[in-house]
Amino acid sequence: MGVEGCTKCIKYLLFVFNFIFWLAGGIILGVALWLRHDSQTTNILYLQLGDKQAPSTFYVGIYILIAVGAVMMFVGFLGCYGAIQESQCLLGTFFTCLVILFACEVAAGIWGFVNKDQIAKDVKQFYDQAFQQALMAESETNNGKAVVKTFHETLDCCGPDSAMAAVTPLWRDDLCPKDSLLKTFTGSSNCHKKIDELFSGKLYLIGIAAIVVAVIMIFEMILSMVLCCGIRNSSVY
């Protein structure tokens, strides 16, 4: 005997929420893959300065997001199927998965909040080291020069600060984009500023997606327990 009345409404409401949750998982997976293969981040974070590799903290967060998005799509499908079939076993499994996923999201959010400034700081330090090497280098094949040129071309900037951005093109035009001198006067040629904008903008998108998903998960946990209780009571009568 199937559920009736308000419990039936909750059944279809849970199905709708799970479908949204499944879509949200797909969006997070898509955003994570976009961040993973975005030319701005990959060009910079695949660089190597001698034996020193570019900071990998950003990619750790991306791989966590990819895993979360894939799991969310699986859990969303499980919730949809469990709600339609009115299966207490599937709904119980779904609730357990949601609790684990919610805990993981909170842990990932705390990790991201703690490391949000460190990611940009590590990249800026890596850039500064390469910039110093490039200024002292004479050879065109110098690794530091190649790293710096990749930063400058990818982010359309020059120099670690405004003063260096103004002076460098005058005597080292091989390191900076052709129009970097003009942009210096508008304040848009600072590489440290561009690195901060790059990572803060992407982390902002991730934060919005995480908050929306957390709210949906809380509603789904409540609805799944109410539906489980309704199915158990309807089977008694």
Q: For position 1, what pLDDT does the model report?
A: 44
**Kindly report the CA angle at 131 between 56 and 45, in degrees rounded to 5?**
20
Along the 237 residues of the chain, how does pLDDT read in single tens digits?
455 667 788 888 888 888 888 888 888 888 888 877 776 666 666 555 555 555 666 677 778 778 888 888 898 888 888 888 888 888 888 888 888 888 877 887 777 777 777 777 888 888 888 888 777 765 554 567 777 887 887 788 877 775 665 555 545 666 776 665 555 554 556 888 888 887 777 677 777 777 887 888 888 888 888 888 878 777 544
Residues 94 and 14: their CA atoms lie apart, in Å, by 11
| Chain-centre distance for alpha carbon 195 | 16
Greatest C-alpha distance within the chain: 87
Q: For position 208, what pLDDT does the model report?
A: 78
How many C-beta neighbours within 10 Å does residue 226 have?
16
* Nearest CA among 233, 224, 232 for reference residue 10: 224
Q: For position 237, what pLDDT does the model report?
A: 47
Strands (DSSP E) along the chain, which ranges?
48-49, 52-53
Mapped onto helix, strand or coil, the DSSP state of residue 23 is: helix
Residues 73 and 31: their CA atoms lie apart, in Å, by 14
Bridge partners (DSSP) of residue 53 are 48
Given CA atoms 87, 93, 99, 105 in this order, what sign does their dihedral have?
Answer: negative
Q: For position 236, what pLDDT does the model report?
A: 46
Q: For position 179, what pLDDT does the model report?
A: 60
